């Protein structure tokens, strides 16, 4: 994608994503990270996937509710990338162009992990769609919150307990699916160590937040002084 910020002379914002399996604590850590950045004077927006723009939020409901077998792997992947395209065009790129930092709960790595590995679609289809839809856009830093599958699912079920319409479609999938997607996140991190960092998410929210802040300082320290 083109970079309107460069053309206008405005410093481009930074793009940080949080990834991980169900119950890893991404939403909690997103809020903590955004608050911390704001305290340092950084203009920041919080967003999420699937969702993050009006069109993408409509697609989100198709993906996170209903029966586990609602879609086959390719249909599910196409829906995610349709939502992602709208999200990027309507929310992410405009924010980066005006110099804001974007902190996003999930991005394209989730599709690779969930559909490419979890549903066993494979890397090539996901990589092809990413090239077509994103045009080279990648996060500046991806923090992958890593947690044993059973622990994460227990957390997620506790979070959704009592909800009238829980977004629990992925949580209801078989354990083997969740094990494969965790392996997927590990492989992604190993392939792109300059962008991705695995973060042990088994500690308290405060401990995990401190690890994330340290990683952000190490990557972007010059921009936070």
Q: Is 22 annotated as a binding residue?
A: yes
Q: What is the pLDDT of residues 9-62, one digit of tens each?
A: 779 999 999 999 999 999 999 999 999 999 999 999 999 999 999 999 999 999
Yes or no: say if 36 and 143 are a contact pair by the CB < 8 Å rule.
no
Q: Is 166 annotated as a binding residue?
A: no
What the block records as the tokens of 139 is 């996060």
Going from the N-terminus, what domains does the chain have, and what CATH number goes with each?
Answer: 4-224 (3.40.50.300)
Q: Is 66 annotated as a binding residue?
A: no
Q: Is 26 annotated as a binding residue?
A: yes
State the Cα–Cα distance between residues 170 and 60, nearest whole angstrom. Answer: 12
Q: Is 27 annotated as a binding residue?
A: yes
Q: Is 158 annotated as a binding residue?
A: no
What the block records as the tokens of 8 is 């206008």
> pLDDT below 70 — which residues of the chain?
1-8, 160-166, 225
Q: What is the mean pLDDT of the chain?
A: 92
Per-residue confidence (pLDDT) for residue 161, from 0 to 100: 63
| CA dihedral (19, 137, 117, 81) positive or negative | positive
């Amino acid at each position: 994608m083109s970079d309107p910020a460069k053309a206008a002379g405005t410093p481009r914002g930074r793009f940080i994503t949080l990834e991980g399996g169900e119950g890893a604590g991404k939403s909690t850590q997103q809020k903590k990270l955004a608050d911390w950045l704001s305290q340092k004077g950084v203009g920041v927006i919080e967003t999420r996937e699937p969702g993050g723009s009006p069109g993408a939020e409509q697609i989100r409901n198709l993906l996170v509710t209903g029966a586990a077998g609602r879609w086959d792997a390719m249909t599910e992947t196409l829906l995610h990338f349709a939502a992602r395209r709208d999200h990027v065009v309507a929310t992410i790129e405009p924010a980066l162009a005006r110099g804001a930092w974007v902190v996003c709960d999930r991005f394209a790595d989730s599709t690779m992990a969930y559909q490419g590995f979890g549903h066993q679609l494979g890397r090539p289809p996901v990589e092809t769609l990413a090239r077509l839809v994103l045009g080279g856009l990648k996060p500046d830093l991806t923090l992958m919150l890593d947690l044993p599958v059973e622990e994460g699912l227990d957390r997620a079920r506790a979070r959704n307990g009592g909800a009238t319409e829980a977004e629990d479609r992925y949580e209801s999938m078989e354990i083997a699916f969740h094990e494969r997607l965790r392996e997927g996140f590990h492989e992604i991190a190993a392939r792109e160590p300059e962008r991705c960092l695995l973060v042990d998410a088994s500690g308290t929210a405060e401990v995990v937040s401190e690890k994330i802040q340290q990683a952000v300082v190490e990557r972007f320290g010059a921009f936070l002084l």
